[in-house]
């Protein structure tokens, strides 16, 4: 009897930059991942618009099952842009608390049997206050993702977790504003930039999980011949 295929998972955890990552009209980097991983690994998103490291730490026990963790080939954490709101906002998280929350999130994943080698942390992308404010009719807080990116890097370095520095990537882009549709959320150009940055690391982890990077089950011609 043929061995049943094992379906691994690539799990994305974060705020609106993850929640909107399947949106076909804008920041569709999860869609790009899912398309490239068809018949290889499933992409699972756990994105919560407006959430900070504090709120994600709080809900983490409720958002994934044991099977999710057991089947995880890769977990991507994209957290911090809401922490980076200034202290006029209820979303603001002091830097020392952000560091503690991210460290606790990594510790929780480890408790669920996820080794650090499966985890990738992304730094918050750059932010354009004027564009984000322009689409709202109430005053918004300023955000400082560059400062909070330093915290993400520090936590990742201490834990031995791979970092994909999307903050640096967005800041050093020839036209950073062209990556967002509202100054904070990725458009298709920004999504493609992010996808290309993480894709090699995702492939490595999926390959490590399965021992190869091959589609599951025979192509249709072979399957049909088997059934004749």
**Domains by residue range for the chain, with CATH:** 8-226 (3.40.50.1110)
pLDDT at 190: 97
pLDDT at 203: 98
Residue 145 CA to residue 166 CA, distance in Å, equals 11
When pLDDT is averaged across residues 66-89 and rounded to a whole number, the result is 97
pLDDT at 2: 60
DSSP 174: S
Would you say how long the chain is, in residues?
Answer: 228
pLDDT at 3: 77
Residue 49 CA to residue 59 CA, distance in Å, equals 13
Residue 164 CA to residue 153 CA, distance in Å, equals 9
Higher local confidence (pLDDT), 100 or 135: 100
Tell me which residue has tokens 């705020």: 15
When pLDDT is averaged across residues 34-49 and rounded to a whole number, the result is 98
Residue 44 CA to residue 72 CA, distance in Å, equals 10
What confidence tens digit (pLDDT) does each residue in 168-221 have?
999 999 999 999 999 999 999 999 999 999 999 999 999 999 999 999 998 989
What confidence tens digit (pLDDT) does each residue in 1-13 have?
567 888 999 999 9
**From residue 156, how far is each of 71, 117, 126, 150, 194 by CA, in Å?**
22, 11, 19, 10, 18
> 3-state DSSP call for residue 20?
coil
The total of other beta-carbon atoms located within 10 Å of residue 135's CB is: 10
């Amino acid at each position: 009897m043929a061995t049943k295929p094992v379906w691994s998972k690539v799990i994305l955890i974060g705020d609106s930059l993850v929640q909107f990552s399947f949106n076909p009209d804008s920041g569709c980097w999860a869609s790009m991942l899912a398309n490239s991983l068809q018949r290889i690994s499933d992409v699972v998103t756990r994105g919560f618009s407006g959430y900070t490291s504090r709120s994600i730490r709080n809900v983490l026990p409720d958002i994934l099952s044991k099977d999710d963790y057991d089947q995880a080939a890769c977990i991507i954490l994209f957290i911090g842009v809401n922490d980076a709101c200034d202290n006029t906002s209820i979303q603001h998280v002091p830097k020392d608390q952000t560091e503690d929350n991210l460290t606790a999130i990594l510790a929780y994943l480890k408790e669920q049997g996820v080794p650090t080698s499966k985890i990738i942390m992304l730094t918050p992308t750059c932010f354009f206050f004027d564009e984000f404010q322009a689409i709202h009719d109430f005053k918004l807080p300023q955000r400082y993702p560059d400062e909070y990116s330093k915290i993400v890097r520090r936590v990742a370095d201490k834990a031995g977790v791979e970092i994909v520095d999307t903050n640096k990537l967005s800041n050093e882009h020839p036209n950073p504003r062209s990556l967002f549709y509202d100054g904070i959320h990725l458009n298709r150009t920004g999504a493609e930039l992010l996808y290309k940055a993480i894709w090699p690391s995702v492939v490595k982890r999926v390959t490590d999980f399965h021992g190869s990077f091959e589609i599951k089950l025979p192509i249709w011609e072979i399957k049909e011949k088997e059934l004749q």
